[in-house]
Amino acid sequence: AEAETAQCQLFPNNLTEQQRRVLQFQYHRKLSKMMAMLVGSHIGFISADKEIVKNQGGTKHQILSSYLSLLSNILSHPSGRICHEQINTWIALLRDPTMSKLLSPYLQTLLNAYMSHLVRLPWNDVEDGTHELTSLIQTSWEEKEEYDSWLMDLRSKCSQLFKYIAQINPKLAAATLHTKLEYLLTHHGNGQPRNLTNGEQLQQWSFACVQFEGFHQPLDNLLQGMPSWSLAEKEDCANSDPGRLEIRASVRSSLNQVANMIISWNPTDVWLKFRRTTLVNALKYYWQYDPTTLLTGVDAMLTYLATSDDHMATRPHSNGKKHSDEIVSLRKRTGACLVSISKKVPHHLVPWLAQLSERVKNLLSSNDLLPMNEMHLYEFLSCVATAVEDPLARSNFVSDVLSNAINVLDSIEVKNAVNSVEGLMATLGISAATNDPSSVTNPLVVKQTTELYVKMFSAFNQLLSVGKRCHEAAKKRPGGGLPPTTATPPTLSTQSNFPDEGPISLSDLAINDPFVPLWPRILPTLLCALDAVLQLWHPNYQAVLLRHNIQRYALAISDEEAYLATKQDSTAGGVYGEGGTAGSIVSGWDRRDVNLAPKWSGWLNELRHTCFQLLGLAAGQRVLFAPELAGIFPRFVSVIVDERHLKSMENRHLTQYLKQFLEILLLSCPATLYQSHLSPILGPLFEHLQYRLQCNWAPIIEPNTLRSSSETTKALTTPACENAAALASNTGEEWFLTYYARCGLFVGDLDAVTGEEVVEKARVELSRALSDCLQAALALKGEWGLVLANQAKEEQAVKKNDPSKLKSGPRTRFNDQEGRRVNADGTPRSENDIAIEARKTLRINSMCRFLLLENEKIAGFLVLTVIQCLGYPDVYTCRRCARICHRILETVSWNEQYTDLLGNKMFSIVVKAIVTEPKWMVGLEWDMINVLRDVYCRLVLGQTLLPGGQGPGLQQPRDPTNPALFEQSKSVDKPLQGGGVLCRSSDMPRVILSRLPSISVENIQTLDKGLTEKRAAKDQKDLLRELLLAAAEALKETEGGFSGNDSTFGSLFERAGTAESLLNQKAQRSAIVPDIPEKLVTYSMMQKHKEQENTDEQAAALGDIFKLS
């Protein structure tokens, strides 16, 4: 930087302004970063100094103001890189409520600078050298990909920055939005300067389109961040101070003009219409308080749904498409905008519900809408209908909106399609290919088959979309989704019995959720459809389909699934772009072509996923537990846990089953119905999962066994279909062993490398989905985990006598609740949250007991599966299963029936993982040692721990009547408070340790003594690590001194090298780090000393700001 500055000084007259900036770029960038870091690292000192934060005009305040002024002036640099170096510091300053007055003079500069850099640079002009800042931009970013990545990061951070600015100074934010929009409409509202046109239309990256694209985020974020008092009606602010009333008037005036300018803007270019749609969508935050222009905006969006391209037929490369890609994009964005607005402000649209309904019917009757737009319109009307006050009127309206979809499901065509697997195959054109292979490419057959499938799938999808919107709205009602007749008042919310924790009739559920009454008509057809789809993968059908050179592709993965496994960059165009996988499953064909074969896999995926999600919706709405549907529940169970279905599903199917259905079922089932409604499902499911995961990972863990080889883990491809079909026809155990080894995948004509990636992804995703599902059910994550976090937060607030903690969320989350209570994650709390959390707490405690103590089959396979997952080489799964192990120990360690599972199987697999030090477990060692400590303390030493294996060991005294026993902990029935211990100490963990090389009885006695005397968590884990280090070193010697550092070929199970090993950390530190000299002088210290000699006065001035005294 000094050399660059010196060069500028040597040739002052020969350099242009841009050349100076290029030469000094690195200096300016480092200066901006250094100055920002200096302030950021002393925010605590600044906020604690009253002279500074109270703006009293003292010396410190003046110095800091000058410093911040210089920092903000640097933001005027034309390179966004310079601004980006400061954004974290500004966010940290704005987050601190004591800084608002101090930062007020710089907010305008911040807004202008970061809003300008959100506008995408025209990279084509940079590459052509025609951009006025070409040299500076090329110095800032080497290539377009680097710039795109940087811009994405900047936009992500600016989101929080803009919200804080709007919260601190809403008047400034509103005025800036008005000024900026007025400028844009004046200079670019008609597409000026109309560059990069395609005939008469602007392109996506035309200058005007890019300018409006860059304005959308500031508009959206600033409107979100504005406090409610600055936008509320005048009567809502009657008790406000005069200053707030003046600000409110200014804000509402500015935003009213902004809304009117956007609504009255009527561009003719398709891409400008697209940008207008995004701006209209952002206005929903303003319309929440002032709906004056709402109906006009909605009307404009409904008009855009019918936008057509009059020149489509004459445009090149139209390929007979009905609409251009630009029109399709506009229509999709418009539909999503309508749904988003209706979810935010449905109560303001209710007065016009009849007119909106009539307008939607006219659009639907035009037969020109995209299938996705039809779904958007149904969702739009349903969201508005949820704001209707009368429950009966709500239900009737939703029923009327969905009458077409219900009628489609009741039609003969759909009934024939879903009542049997043969009917489904005939509907999708699979059966016809048996005798007439050419039918799959016959344009007429393809068109008819596609239309029939779209008709059937759209009906299911519309029901799912509307059902989700109704369910979301139901949870936002005053009762929080609880039936009004059973909602418990907050004063009674701590009781353990609730009248609604059991079966509730559909009529009661419909009071909050208008979708509920439709389920008796939907569920039978839904179960038939799912049953037919899952039967297609039974071995007897696979044996037939795999032999046919076309029909086999119905069982294949889709091009999209292959693409997701390759971790490609989406900027290259996705699955159909350069480097995409379109046409790789059915060689040379993809689902956009006139060929049914590549469409089948995508269709079946869509149908299966929609069925799973609808079942999850039924569980979430508690319909499955209603007395009216008790008669169909046995049929429901017979479909979802049919042994043939479970055994025949691929890993990818089962993963979605867990995510989209099972997790929701576990969280939604009332505690009193666990035995009757969960036992029939979880018993067979956990038994199968234990077996499947064992077969999935066996070829990886034991690759040298007779049944395991590199070939068994390869995905099935087209050339191997004949052999696979012969094996499937036997339907024996050998078929399922090979089927699970490859995760059930058939990848068609996909290349071997990508096929291997697909199999690996399917293998790890199933174990990860299971661990996530169990974590949610055991309150280790998700909404139940949030309940426990809220309770801990309340306890902390009471303990510290600080009620403000209940009104603040995480520092990383923007909080606009203005002093109202928030959840531990920063989300707002509703009035009835106390009653809802009381029920969730009851379910949390009941679920732990049910899963681990009340059903031997469920508990046995569940615990065994979790223990086995600790040995599967996947860090994600292993870390989460370690957390689940702690919850298991807290719940059942006192039960002697679990002693063998916990003290033998769990303990031995954890010890093996630590002592053998496989490379895949690097970074997990402390988690595993903590599990080891938890087992040993509870089963051997009689010590309880805090939840999650945290905190010191709490020693239980010996039973005075029987010294051989420990007294049981008082929290034995409360796993969420630490659980209990095994009263009769087990020697199993001691025996396992004694079998390790170089570990003697004396070593174990020393360990017991140390763990008893030193009960701090760190001390106990260090003692265990030292013992296992000795065993690991001895084991290395028996292996011939093998170390990962000496291996030529990397391996998953290769022993971690000395530099990676946690067990050797202390040895490394003592060997590598020399003794510290009496006076340590580092290179950075010498540089600072050298700089200080030249800048004594400036350094002294800056140093005064942050003095502790």
Q: What is the pLDDT of residue 709?
A: 56
Distance CA 519, CA 178 (A): 49
Query: Which residues lie closer than 8 Å to 1009 by C-beta, 6 or more apart?
Result: none
Q: Which residues pair with 202 in a beta bridge?
A: 197
Residues 52, 61: contact at Cβ < 8 Å?
yes
Amino acid code (one letter) for 516 = V
Q: What is the pLDDT of residue 493?
A: 43
Q: What is the pLDDT of residue 57?
A: 66
Distance CA 596, CA 1095 (A): 76
As averages over each run of 10 residues, the pLDDT of the chain (1109 residues) reads: 52 73 91 93 85 74 90 93 94 88 92 95 90 92 92 94 94 96 95 83 91 96 93 65 88 96 95 96 95 95 86 44 84 95 94 93 88 91 92 93 94 95 95 92 94 94 94 84 56 59 91 94 96 96 94 94 77 73 89 93 96 97 94 95 96 96 96 95 96 93 62 88 92 89 94 92 96 96 92 86 76 63 83 87 94 94 96 93 96 94 94 89 90 95 93 92 91 91 94 91 93 93 91 79 38 60 56 44 56 49 34
The token duo for 632 is: 């169909």
Residue recorded with tokens 């490394």: 1068
Q: Which residues pair with 668 in a beta bridge?
A: none
Distance CA 331, CA 322 (A): 13
Q: What is the pLDDT of residue 920?
A: 86
- DSSP code per residue over 172-204: HHHHHHHHHHHHHHHHHTT-TT--SEETTEEPT
- DSSP code per residue over 60-104: HHHHHHHHHHHHHHGGGSS-HHHHHTTHHHHHHHHHSGGGHHHHG
First to last CA, the chain: 35
CA distances from 569 to 147, 503, 566, 607 (A): 15, 49, 9, 28
Nearest by Cα to 531 from 665, 438, 636, 683: 636
Q: What is the pLDDT of residue 56?
A: 62
Q: What is the pLDDT of residue 112?
A: 95
Q: What is the pLDDT of residue 313?
A: 41
Q: How many CA atoms lie within 13 A of 782 on its CB side?
A: 19
Distance CA 672, CA 656 (A): 27
- DSSP code per residue over 138-172: HHH-SSHHHHHHHHHHHHHHHHHHHHHHHHH-HHH
The token duo for 387 is: 């704001």
Residues 673, 502: contact at Cβ < 8 Å?
yes
Q: Which residues pair with 1055 in a beta bridge?
A: 918
Buried (b) or exposed (e) across 515-538, using 16+ Cβ within 10 A?
A: bbbbbebbbbbbbbbbbbbbbbbb
Q: What is the pLDDT of residue 1063?
A: 67
Query: Which residues lie closer than 8 Å to 926 by C-beta, 6 or more apart?
Result: 1021, 1062
Distance CA 555, CA 559 (A): 13
Residue recorded with tokens 């309508």: 338
Distance CA 931, CA 885 (A): 7
β-bridge pairing 958-959 and 950-955: unpaired
Q: What is the pLDDT of residue 74?
A: 94
Distance CA 790, CA 809 (A): 10
Query: Which residues lie closer than 8 Å to 408 by C-beta, 6 or more apart?
Result: 414, 455, 456, 458, 459
Nearest by Cα to 117 from 218, 23, 188: 218
Distance CA 70, CA 492 (A): 58
